[in-house]
Amino acid sequence: MPLPAEFADLEPFTGWALATEPERYARRLASSMDEMQALYDAVFPRLEDAIAYCDASWGDLTEEARTLMHLLQSLVMVSFPVEVWKQARVPDSGAAYLDLVTEPVV
């Protein structure tokens, strides 16, 4: 999955550019804290520029911009585990699970 040229440094993380929330959640649960921290450390400093790029492309979202948007969605998915919980699963949640039925329309 290609990224816009301005974000070529994030290419090692395109495996996180997953189109649906269930895919992103499964990836989070299957990843180590080191993997999530690496994604967070690489993408978070580029967040404002990436959002601006996606916003500017919104009317005609290219494949590259869509890949970048999905990468940002994965950043959101790992932010609480990295910043707060220090683990992939929600603490003290037992067997609770929330399954998203629909995806936002893009």
pLDDT at 19 over 60: yes
33-63 pLDDT, tens digit per residue, is: 999 999 999 999 999 999 999 999 888 889 9
pLDDT at 92 over 60: no
3-state SS string for 63-99: HHHHHHHHHHHHHHHHHHHHHHHCCCCCCCCCCCCCC
Q: Name the DSSP letter for residue 33.
A: H
How far, in Å, CA of 19 to CA of 101, rounded?
14
Dihedral (C-alpha) 80, 77, 100, 67: value to the nearest 10 degrees?
A: 170
The confidence score (pLDDT) of residue 88 equals 74
* Per-residue pLDDT band at 91 (split at 50, 70, 90): low
The confidence score (pLDDT) of residue 41 equals 98
pLDDT at 1 over 90: no
